[in-house]
Copies of this chain bind each other. A is one copy, B any other.
Amino acid sequence: MANTNNKAKKITTIATLGSHCALQVLKGAKDEGFRTLLVCEKKRVGLYERFGFIDDMIIVDKFSEVAGDRCKAALKKKDAIIIPHGTLISQMSSDEIEKIETPVFGNKWILRWEADREMKQKLMEEAGLRTPRPVQSKDKISGLCIVKLHGAAGGRGYYLAWNRESFEEGAKRLVQQGMIRGEQDLYIQEFIRGVPVYLQYFYSPVTKSLELLGVDRRYESDIDGIGRIPAKQQLGAGGEPSYTVVGNIPLVLRESLLDEVYKMGESFCRAAERLVKPGMPGPFCLEGVYDSEGRFTTFEFSARIVAGTNLYVDGSPYSGLLYDEPMSMGRRIAREVKMAKRKNCLSSIVT
């Protein structure tokens, strides 16, 4: 940590990879007075050149070069900190991420817990979050279930089943498509009936407080389009839905739910502190469903900024309660770096 503290002591530039939420992050950094740097794939330079708040670019062929010597040297020269986001996680292994020598905002060790299904489940349980009940075998299916592939990326191949027959029918289709070898590659979870909600938090080690900065839901193709196909036509035409994230829709929650929202966020931070030091500094997200009793079941978490925060470049209904300026999640990150510099405690927010 002494080393971490040392390497981060004079951060003047905020850097990130050119995708996911880079625009929001660098806009926020600029608003807080930092220089901004984008690690940008060659093919995307044209896009990012449009935005005046990006001061510098390092152009790469692929994002994993961010850990290489050329980027490292350039980032060091600029006294840069990297803001990790979903693209970093999807383009680099946990091993590669942990070896990044440039200062990384937040806890880079926790990203492995996000990427690994079993570690993820362990952390959610440690936090006392309600998670979907696993269904032990196809004979135990009662009510709607979601069938998932071990180790599958995104939601590819997932299907809904409600009894043994519909489970087997789906498995057969996946075998025919060459996506699985057999039923042993599948596992079954209860399907939680309800509405999807994504909770966007920020935990500040500097102020020791948790902030809810926004709420959204994803906009997924084609699952969010099938409701626009009447039942008769759905049944006639057949087809299985997919869950490709296309964007996000803004939401607010009933105020009576907020107390539990904060409690879940705090439990998550404390669990992270116990399981993976230094814990959960910075942005994170709990992702789940509210059922008809108003209970939240958590499916996933993201231990870093999520793309749903892109809705709130100019602040959200929740950030408006906490800040008198437009406070995006990207700007909040930059604000935290600034505060930590002033208080000489950068080591608490950098790994």
Distance in angstroms between the alpha carbons of A236 and B51 in the assembled complex: 50
Across the interface, name the chain B residue whose C-beta is closest to A222.
Answer: B193
Distance in angstroms between the alpha carbons of A161 and B21 in the assembled complex: 40
Given the complex, which residues of B lie within 8 Å of A44, measured CB to CB?
259
Given the known interface contacts A19-B255, A256-B20, A315-B314, the answer about A225 and B193 at a Cβ–Cβ threshold of 8 Å is yes
Indicate which residue in B262, B290, B307 contacts A221 across the interface (CB closer than 8 Å): B290
Q: Is the CB of A101 closer than 8 A to any CB of chain B?
A: no
Contact with B along A207-235 (1 / 0, CB 8 A): 00100000101011111111111111111
Distance in angstroms between the alpha carbons of A195 and B226 in the assembled complex: 8
Given the complex, which residues of B lie within 8 Å of A228, measured CB to CB?
196, 223-224, 226-227, 241
Q: Is the CB of A144 closer than 8 A to any CB of chain B?
A: yes
- B246:A257 contact, CB within 8 angstroms: yes
- B247:A19 contact, CB within 8 angstroms: no
Q: Is the CB of A311 closer than 8 A to any CB of chain B?
A: yes
- B143:A237 contact, CB within 8 angstroms: yes
Given the complex, which residues of B lie within 8 Å of A87, measured CB to CB?
256
Distance in angstroms between the alpha carbons of A259 and B45 in the assembled complex: 9
Given the complex, which residues of B lie within 8 Å of A262, measured CB to CB?
46-47, 50
Chain B CB within 10 A, most for which of A27, A240, A252: A252
Given the complex, which residues of B lie within 8 Å of A259, measured CB to CB?
43-44, 46-47
Interface size on A, residues (CB 8 A): 89
Across the interface, name the chain B residue whose C-beta is closest to A290.
Answer: B246
- B47:A258 contact, CB within 8 angstroms: yes
- A209:B50 contact, CB within 8 angstroms: yes
Distance in angstroms between the alpha carbons of A15 and B331 in the assembled complex: 32
Q: Is the CB of A140 closer than 8 A to any CB of chain B?
A: no
Decide if the interface of chain A is mainly helix, strand, loop or mixed: mixed
| CB-contacts of A293-339 with B (<8 A) | 293-294, 307, 310-315, 317-318, 320-322, 326
- In the assembled complex, the CB of A28 is this many whole angstroms from the nearest CB of chain B, namely 11
| CB-contacts of A150-176 with B (<8 A) | 160-163, 166
Distance in angstroms between the alpha carbons of A249 and B217 in the assembled complex: 10
Contact with B along A284-298 (1 / 0, CB 8 A): 000001111110000
| CB-contacts of A84-135 with B (<8 A) | 87
Distance in angstroms between the alpha carbons of A254 and B53 in the assembled complex: 20
Chain B CB within 10 A, most for which of A87, A143, A253, A257: A253
A-B contact pairs, 5 of them (CB 8 A): A20-B256, A50-B262, A232-B235, A249-B251, A255-B307
- Identify the 3 closest CB pairs spanning chains A and B, nearest first: A227-B227, A242-B292, A231-B231
